[in-house]
C-alpha cells in the first residue's frame, strides 16, 4: 500500500497534551490552592492561640472545655462536610434561618461563586483548629513561671508577656505546625468533594482536587500527571522545611 492510502492507514500520532488537556492544566495552574492553603492556616491562627492562652488561665472546667474543642479533629472529613452542608443549606439550614431572622438574605452560600471558597476555608480551619490548639497549649505549658514573675517585677504588662515570654517559646512550634498543616491542605480532597465538588464554576477547585477530577472522573491522565508532579514538588519542599525546623528545635 503506497501513496495517500498508506498515509491514511497509518495511526496518527497524538500529542501528549492536547488542547483540552492544556486548557485543564492552565485552569489548574490558576486554581486557588495557594490562597486556600495560606488563608486556611492564617484564618484561625489567632483564634487557636487565643484559645490556648484562655485554656491556660481557666481554673475550673478546663478539661471539659479542652475535650469540647477537640471534637472537630476526632471527626472524619466526610462527617464534617455533611455537618456543614446541613448548617449552610440555604433552604432549611440553621445558618440560613438565623440570617433570615436577622433580616438578611442568605443567598446560595456554598452555591455562590464569590462566597464558596471562603466558606470552604472556614470549614477547613474549624476542622483543623484543635490540632494547632493542642500544640500551642503544650508549648505554653513549657514556659517557666519565673519568666512571668520577672516581667511582673519589671513592671511589664500583657504586651511584654506576649513579646518576651510567649512568642519566643511558641514561634518554633507554630512554624512546624503551620508546615504540617500546609502539607495536609495540599492533599485535601474529601472536604471539597463533599461540600462543593469543586464548584461552583471551579471556584473551589484546588490542585489536588484537579488531580482527582482529571484522573478518576474524566480519565484524562495528562493534566493529572503534571499537577501531581507539581503537588509532589511542593510537598517535598514543605517536608524539607519541616524536618529542618523540627530538627533545629529538637536539637
Say what the pLDDT of residue 84 is: 94
| Dihedral sign of CA atoms 185, 131, 72, 69 in order | negative
- What gap in Å lies between CA 125 and CA 84, rounded to an integer? 12
Residue 6 is predicted with a pLDDT of 45
Q: Which residue has the higher pLDDT, 250 or 197?
A: 197
Which pLDDT band, with edges at 50, 70 and 90, does 195 fall under? very high
Q: Is the pLDDT of residue 44 over 50?
A: yes
Q: Write down the mean pLDDT value for the chain.
A: 77
Q: Are 227 and 212 within 8 A, CB to CB? A: no
Per-residue pLDDT at 194? 92
CA gap 55, 74 in Å, rounded: 19
Q: Cell digits for 55? A: 485554656
pTM: 0.73
**Cα-based distances in Å from 101 to 30, 89, 95, 105, 107:** 38, 15, 10, 9, 14
Least confident range from 35-49, 100-114, 232-246: namely: 35-49
When comparing pLDDT for 21 and 109, which is higher? Answer: 109
Give the dihedral sign, CA 129/199/233/36.
negative
| pLDDT of 128 over the 80 cut | yes
Set of cell numbers at residue 111: 452555591
Q: What domains sit in the chain, N to C, each tagged with a CATH number? A: 32-250 (1.10.3720.10)
Average pLDDT of 160-182?
83
pLDDT bracket for residue 45 (50, 70, 90): low
Peptide bond into 200 cis (omega under 30): yes
The 3-state secondary structure of 181-235, one letter per residue: HHHHHHCCCHHHHHHCCCCCCCCCCCHHHHHHHHHHHCCCHHHHHHHHHHHHHHH
Amino acid at each position: 500500500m503506497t501513496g495517500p492510502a498508506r498515509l491514511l492507514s497509518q495511526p496518527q500520532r497524538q500529542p501528549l497534551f492536547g488542547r483540552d488537556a492544556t486548557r485543564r492544566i492552565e485552569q489548574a495552574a490558576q486554581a486557588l490552592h495557594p490562597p486556600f492553603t495560606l488563608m486556611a492556616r492564617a484564618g484561625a491562627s489567632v483564634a487557636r492561640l487565643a484559645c490556648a492562652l484562655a485554656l491556660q488561665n481557666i481554673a475550673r472546667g478546663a478539661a471539659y472545655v479542652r475535650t469540647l474543642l477537640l471534637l472537630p479533629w476526632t471527626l472524619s472529613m466526610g462527617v464534617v462536610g455533611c455537618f456543614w452542608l446541613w448548617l449552610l443549606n440555604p433552604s432549611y439550614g440553621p445558618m440560613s434561618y438565623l440570617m433570615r431572622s436577622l433580616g438578611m438574605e442568605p443567598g446560595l452560600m456554598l452555591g455562590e461563586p464569590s462566597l464558596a471558597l471562603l466558606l470552604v476555608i472556614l470549614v477547613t480551619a474549624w476542622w483543623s483548629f484543635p490540632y494547632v490548639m493542642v500544640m500551642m497549649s503544650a508549648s505554653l505549658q513549657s514556659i517557666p513561671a519565673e519568666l512571668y514573675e520577672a516581667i511582673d517585677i519589671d513592671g511589664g504588662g500583657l504586651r511584654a508577656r506576649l513579646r518576651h515570654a510567649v512568642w519566643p517559646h511558641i514561634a518554633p512550634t507554630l512554624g512546624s505546625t503551620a508546615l504540617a498543616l500546609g502539607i495536609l491542605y495540599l492533599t485535601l480532597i474529601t472536604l471539597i468533594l463533599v461540600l462543593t465538588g469543586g464548584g461552583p464554576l471551579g471556584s473551589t477547585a484546588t490542585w489536588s482536587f484537579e488531580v482527582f477530577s482529571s484522573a478518576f472522573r474524566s480519565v484524562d491522565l495528562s493534566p493529572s500527571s503534571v499537577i501531581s508532579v507539581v503537588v509532589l514538588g511542593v510537598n517535598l519542599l514543605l517536608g524539607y522545611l519541616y524536618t529542618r525546623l523540627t530538627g533545629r528545635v529538637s536539637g
